[in-house]
């Protein structure tokens, strides 16, 4: 099996590449810089240039994970354009390239996010839920639509709607762990907003599952037990054996972060219905044991 991966140096991509190669799968990594290693394939989506069709023709599967980090910079007008372009335009270019291959891949896994649903409040939602209307929901909708050329070419296309990926090596959990270890962990806003999360090992396992399944369309990659922000905060505090008695009011977060505060205050109670119905088994189904084991192992 030959798999092409974009975003291969990221939190998920790097772990996926290691997992695939450990099982003897041939992996090629899409890179935007000059090619330096034999397993790299160059492309320049900013210039509208996809990978060389002669190089990727005959690949069995493509996993597209790249995109500008949502929490990396303030959401200025220019950075919001970058967030959109790094997802929508790169997906469109890659989908068009794959659709034009003489021997196209059998499956195209495209990153998306549960931001597609917008704020769901206390309402539980699965892949049949309605779309949201905020900035991230609109980006996710365009993101998924951009993969249409691959789908219309007969390539099985999966929109991987990820929740918050938990790992001590990057992402949301890694950012707050130093504060929690100092006893400065805090509930955000009311703490009643729902957090839909997934441990990184489960996310990678789910991607592997989707590569081999017959599922197509949207699939939620979230643990089966979403929790409130208060419960999530308490789980991290217990994992590092420190109190978390503080809270940060929502107005303070909005004043400090502007529109980006949406990432911390949105309520999303998302269920991975299609994964569960397909028989996927989560290794980390509840946040308490997941955070405890991730912190203990440094994973």
Residue by residue, pLDDT tens for the chain (299 residues) are 999 999 999 999 999 999 999 999 999 999 998 899 999 999 999 899 999 999 999 999 999 999 999 988 999 999 999 999 999 999 999 999 999 999 999 999 999 999 999 999 999 999 999 999 999 999 999 999 999 999 999 999 999 999 999 999 999 999 999 999 999 999 999 999 999 999 999 999 999 999 999 999 999 999 999 999 999 999 999 999 999 999 999 999 999 999 999 999 999 999 999 999 999 999 999 999 999 999 999 99
Q: How many CB atoms lie within 10 A of CB 104?
A: 19
What does the block give as tokens for 211? 């590569």
CA distance 236 to 223: 16
Q: Which of left, alpha, beta for 67 (phi over 0: left; psi -120 to 50: alpha)? A: left
Query: How many angstroms separate the Cα of 176 from the Cα of each of 58, 149, 228?
Result: 43, 39, 17
CA distance 20 to 17: 5
Q: Which of left, alpha, beta for 24 (phi over 0: left; psi -120 to 50: alpha)? A: left
Total-model pTM: 0.96
Task: Write down the pLDDT at residue 74.
Answer: 93
The domain limits of the chain are: 2-232+235-297
Contact present, 109 and 57 (Cβ < 8 Å): no
**Right CATH number for 2-232+235-297 from 3.30.530.20, 3.40.50.720, 1.10.230.10, 3.90.1150.10?**
3.40.50.720
Contact present, 225 and 286 (Cβ < 8 Å): yes
């Amino acid at each position: 099996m030959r798999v092409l991966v974009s975003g291969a140096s990221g939190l998920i991509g790097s772990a996926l590449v290691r997992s695939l190669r450990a099982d003897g799968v041939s992996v090629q990594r899409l890179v935007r810089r000059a090619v330096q290693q034999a397993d790299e394939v160059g492309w320049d989506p900013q210039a509208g240039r996809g990978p060389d069709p002669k190089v990727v023709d005959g690949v069995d599967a493509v996993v597209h994970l790249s995109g500008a980090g949502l929490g990396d910079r303030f959401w200025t007008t220019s950075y919001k354009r970058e967030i959109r372009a790094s997802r929508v335009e790169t997906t469109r270019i890659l989908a068009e390239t794959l659709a034009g291959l003489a021997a196209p891949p059998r499956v195209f896994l495209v990153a998306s996010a549960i931001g597609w649903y917008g704020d769901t409040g206390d309402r539980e939602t699965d892949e049949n839920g309605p779309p949201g209307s905020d900035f991230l929901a609109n980006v996710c909708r365009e993101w998924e639509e951009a993969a249409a050329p691959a789908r219309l070419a007969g390539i099985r296309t999966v929109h991987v709607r990820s929740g918050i990926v938990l790992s001590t090596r990057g992402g949301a959990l890694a950012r707050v762990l130093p504060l929690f270890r100092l006893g400065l962990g805090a509930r955000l806003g009311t703490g009643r907003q729902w957090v839909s999360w997934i441990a990184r090992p489960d996310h990678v396992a789910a991607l592997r599952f989707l590569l081999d399944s017959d599922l197509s369309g949207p699939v939620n990659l979230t643990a089966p037990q979403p929790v409130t922000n208060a419960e999530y905060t308490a789980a991290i505090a217990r994992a590092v054996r420190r109190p978390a008695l503080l809270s940060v009011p929502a107005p303070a977060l909005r004043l400090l972060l502007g529109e980006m505060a949406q990432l911390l205050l949105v309520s999303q109670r998302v269920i991975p219905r299609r994964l569960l119905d397909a028989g996927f088994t989560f290794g980390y189904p509840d946040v308490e044991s997941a955070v405890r084991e991730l912190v203990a192992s440094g994973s």
